[in-house]
């Protein structure tokens, strides 16, 4: 995971790059379940809100999945 500070005129937060790799039986299905509805899911983040999350890349095949995400969090006031 890589993170860097981010700010707009009214908000402060951070941009995050996340990468996941799953291996073994059921990896492809587990990745599909994780990604299903990802953009509408609520995440509990102490002191922050998830403003945006995007799937940048994914590779899925039987027994293997790789997912790359970009996310933007903003500080709660």
Instruction: Choose among 71, 60, 69: nearest CA to 30.
Output: 60
- Look at the chain and report how many structural domains it folds into: 1
Range of the domain at 14: 2-75
The string of DSSP codes covering 11-77 is -EEEEEEEEEEEESTTHHHHHHHHHTTGGG-----TTEEEEEEEEEEEEEETTEEEEEEEEEEEE--
Look up the pTM and report it. 0.84
| Percent of the chain surpassing pLDDT 90 | 88
The answer, yes or no, to whether residue 36 has pLDDT greater than 90, is yes
Q: What is the DSSP letter of 5?
A: E
Q: 41-75: per-residue pLDDT in tens?
A: 888 899 999 999 999 999 999 999 999 999 999 99
**Domain at 66, CATH number:** 3.30.2000.30
């Amino acid at each position: 995971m890589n993170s860097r500070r981010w700010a707009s005129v009214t908000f402060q937060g951070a941009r995050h790059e996340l990468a996941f790799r799953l291996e073994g039986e059921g990896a492809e299905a587990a990745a599909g379940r994780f990604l299903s509805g990802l953009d509408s899911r609520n995440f509990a983040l102490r002191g922050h809100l998830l403003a945006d999350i995007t799937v940048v890349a994914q590779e899925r095949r039987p027994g293997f999945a790789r997912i790359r995400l970009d996310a933007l969090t903003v500080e709660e006031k």
